[in-house]
Amino acid sequence: MRIAEQMTIFQKLNILTDAAKYDVACTSSGVDRRNDGTGMGNCVKEGICHSFSADGRCISLLKILFTNECIYDCKYCINRASNDVPRASFTPDEVCTLTMEFYRRNYIEGLFLSSGILKSPNDTMELIYATLYKLRTECNFQGYIHVKAIPGASQELIQRVGFLADRMSVNLELPTAESLRMLAPHKNRKNILTPMRLVQNKMQENKQEIVEYRNAPRFVPAGQSTQMIIGATPETDYQIIRVAESLYKKFDLKRVFYSAFVHVNEDLNLPVRTDEGPPLLREHRLYQADWLLRYYGFEARELLSEENPNFNVLLDPKCNWALKHLEAFPVEINRADYDTLLRVPGIGYKSAGRIVKARRMAVLGFEDLKKIGVVLKRALYFITCNGKMMYPTKIEEDYITRNLLDVKEKLPAHIGQMTYKQLSLFDDVNFRMEQFTVTDRRGKTAIEKIVG
Ligand code: SF4
């Protein structure tokens, strides 16, 4: 392990932002909080961390590891103990300084803090707690904080952190206990699910306890999330979405994130390296399916099965489902209930709501649907307006599949181009570095300055 003793805060930042890049569980919506006039920072329910840079990094949070030193040896992780990579650790003061300075310059809206396991889970969690405590009480930072709960840390520490953070997450890492044993031998399902349950119970207990100036519950007001690595182990999509479904139901998770496996280590237990790169399209399909579970009333067993355990990467999961259930179509737009409309490819939850509202005033035709935002290129095979289809068309799986495959799907820009080289904060051509001096309560600390 290479640990440089004398590093500037900028050198540490370079290492520890880069080390955090594989963690995708950092969206952070869910808390609306006004500054009370005594501190710095606001939280906005929508808008924080709503955009991602090309490599999946959430651009409006300062996303760092507290340390990339780690006593564990997860096979898939660049920071595992057995890798010879430059190591660095912040101090709580340094994280506070960075957060406050970046916030003042409007570069960030909050902090996403994860960490390797320094000496033990408790030691690490203690340092995270010290950081958050200082940030909230001494620096008076009222912006958004998403922090990782370290599996194996004491319940009391996790609880204390939960009263300071907006969102917490414990990474499930891999979909099954068996995969965890194989690739993350120092972790186990119990260590991961215990803090998840604790956060859930404390959120429930404290949900009535509203902090006045925050207008939000005191404990983890933005809820908890988790992340699973996809493609490092042989689980099918069906297994993965069933795990996600069960986490949503049993642990009240806000989000499950799927992270396409990136080959950064050589290990016999990892899949053979190919030229194909991370399974980004598969990851995208899982996110779409996740959306269907959370907002469209689908169940995992409706989307896939033991016999048909993987999504067709060429079609989005809703189209895939509709093609297997042609007996449910066509749906009459002017009569179908909201839940039925939700299941039509090309109709999103917003359009479904608009249809229900608009048809109270008039009988809707295809032109109206276009204005409402329905994607007719996809929907036309599955709907009628006033008893008529848009064009004479066959309701036949092969025929519709062929036509749907011809419709160019709008995929996220990064799919197909993603290199997984994370932009560091300083790769931005608009930034240049200068030395500057920050005065904190204990005196002066020299760090580099980013100049826009
Ligand atoms: S605990 Fe595992 S995944 Fe986390 S930093 Fe250490 S080696 Fe990496």
| Antiparallel, parallel or unpaired: β 144-148 and 210-211 | unpaired
* CA 184 to ligand 1 center in whole angstroms: 8
343's tokens: 């299941």
Is 125 near ligand 1, meaning CB less than 6 Å away?
Answer: no
d(CA 205, CA 89): 35
Q: How buried is residue 321: exposed, middle or buried, by Cβ count under 10 Å (0-12/13-18/19+)?
A: buried
Identify the H or E element spanning 62: strand 61-65
What's the N-to-C CA distance of the chain in angstroms? 35
Is 80 near ligand 1, meaning CB less than 6 Å away?
Answer: yes
Q: How far is CA 105 from CA 98, 101, 268, 431, in A?
A: 11, 6, 46, 12
Is 116 near ligand 1, meaning CB less than 6 Å away?
Answer: yes
How much of the chain is helix, strand and coil, in % rounded to 5? Answer: 35, 15, 50
74's tokens: 């997860």
Count of Cβ atoms closer than 10 Å to residue 307 Cβ:
6
Task: List the beta bridge partners of residue 259.
Answer: 229
Atom of ligand 1 nearest to the CA of 71: 6
The DSSP output letter for 423 is: P
3-state DSSP assignment of residue 158? helix
- Choose the residue to mutate in 80, 182, 226 for probing ligand 1, maximizing ligand atoms within 8 Å of C-beta: 80
- Choose the residue to mutate in 68, 78, 79, 124 for probing ligand 1, maximizing ligand atoms within 8 Å of C-beta: 79
Is 79 near ligand 1, meaning CB less than 6 Å away?
Answer: yes
3-state DSSP assignment of residue 63? strand
| Ligand 1 atom 4, closest CA | 116
| Ligand 1 atom 7, closest CA | 80
* CA 272 to ligand 1 center in whole angstroms: 21
* CA 154 to ligand 1 center in whole angstroms: 18
Atom of ligand 1 nearest to the CA of 80: 7
Its pTM stands at: 0.82
Each residue of 102-111: pLDDT tens digit? 999 888 888 9
73 near 185, Cβ under 8 Å?
yes
Residue found by looking up tokens 């990851």 in the block = 283
Is 66 near ligand 1, meaning CB less than 6 Å away?
Answer: no
Nearest alpha carbon to residue 286 among 265, 262, 255: 255
d(CA 104, CA 168): 24
* CA 249 to ligand 1 center in whole angstroms: 27
Predicted confidence at residue 206, as pLDDT, reads 84
Per-residue pLDDT of the chain (452 residues), as tens digits, is 555 567 899 899 889 988 887 765 554 444 455 566 666 555 543 333 433 433 444 448 888 999 999 999 999 999 999 999 999 999 999 999 999 999 998 888 889 999 999 999 999 999 999 999 999 999 999 888 999 999 999 999 999 999 999 999 999 999 999 999 999 999 999 999 999 999 999 999 887 776 665 566 789 998 999 999 999 999 999 999 999 999 999 999 999 999 999 999 999 999 988 888 889 999 999 999 999 999 999 999 999 999 999 999 889 999 999 999 999 999 999 999 999 999 999 999 999 999 999 999 999 999 999 999 999 999 999 999 999 999 988 889 999 999 998 877 777 766 654 333 333 333 333 333 333 333 333 333 333 333 32
**Signed CA dihedral, 330, 333, 337, 339: sign only:** positive
Backbone angles phi and psi of 326, in degrees to 5 = -65, -20
338 near 352, Cβ under 8 Å?
yes
16's tokens: 């520890």
3-state DSSP assignment of residue 370? helix
Q: Where are the alpha helices (DSSP H) in 208-345?
A: 237-251, 280-295, 300-303, 317-324, 338-342
Predicted confidence at residue 413, as pLDDT, reads 66
103's tokens: 């916030």
Q: How far is CA 34 from CA 29, 331, 348, in A?
A: 15, 45, 32
d(CA 299, CA 196): 22
Nearest alpha carbon to residue 136 among 39, 28, 204: 39
Is 72 near ligand 1, meaning CB less than 6 Å away?
Answer: yes
- Choose the residue to mutate in 16, 65, 72 for probing ligand 1, maximizing ligand atoms within 8 Å of C-beta: 72
Predicted confidence at residue 442, as pLDDT, reads 36
* CA 123 to ligand 1 center in whole angstroms: 15
Atom of ligand 1 nearest to the CA of 115: 5
Is 74 near ligand 1, meaning CB less than 6 Å away?
Answer: yes
d(CA 219, CA 278): 36
d(CA 254, CA 244): 11
Is 103 near ligand 1, meaning CB less than 6 Å away?
Answer: no
d(CA 192, CA 27): 20
Atom of ligand 1 nearest to the CA of 65: 5
352's tokens: 């479904």
* CA 304 to ligand 1 center in whole angstroms: 32
- Choose the residue to mutate in 64, 71, 117 for probing ligand 1, maximizing ligand atoms within 8 Å of C-beta: 117
d(CA 337, CA 352): 9
Non-local (6+) Cβ contacts of 426 within 8 A are: 14, 433, 450
* CA 420 to ligand 1 center in whole angstroms: 18
228 near 174, Cβ under 8 Å?
yes
Predicted confidence at residue 437, as pLDDT, reads 35
- Choose the residue to mutate in 16, 73, 74 for probing ligand 1, maximizing ligand atoms within 8 Å of C-beta: 74
* CA 155 to ligand 1 center in whole angstroms: 20
